[in-house]
Amino acid sequence: MGRGRWRHGGDGGSKYFVGGAHAKRMDLIHTSVEKVRIDLKTGFVLRHPVASRNLDFAVINPKYVGKKNRPRVLRWGAFNFSVAKEPNNPKTEEDDGYVVTYVLNENTGESRVLVMDAKSPNLDTVTVVKLPRRVPYGFHGLFVTETDLKKL
């Protein structure tokens, strides 16, 4: 289970719901989003697929991990991977920042990096960078702050 979002079940603290990506067999390279119900009293776990399409791990503002948050979904038509949410300032509201992702057009083999405004209703594109080569499946990046880079 990847990084997900938790929501209290409303029963006094014994039931929780988590949503995240699940890969049944890594050799198939297919992950799907699932809603998982966990009953802490009985140990019962119920998994329910939310979407059958192949998806990458969901990413949210790190400040909201384990808390109620507002997920966003990108459009169909291209293969998105290594999505990252980068806040302008970690102390600001959830959507104040950017969503950064690689996008592969499987019809043309063209890869691009998209930077989108996380606060805009439709994830408006701030900039697009066409890459000189196709980015392979399974490639993941890590975005770090300038402060963290200076520590290296």
* Integer Cα distance of 78 and 63 in angstroms: 28
| Other Cβ atoms within 10 Å of 107 Cβ, number | 8
140 labeled part of a ligand binding site: yes
* Integer Cα distance of 79 and 112 in angstroms: 11
| Helical segments of the chain, H only | 146-150
Two structure tokens written together for 23: 């890969």
Closest by CA to 124, choosing from 132, 114, 112, is 114
Give binding residues as ranges: 140
Which residues carry a binding-site annotation for Fe cation? 140
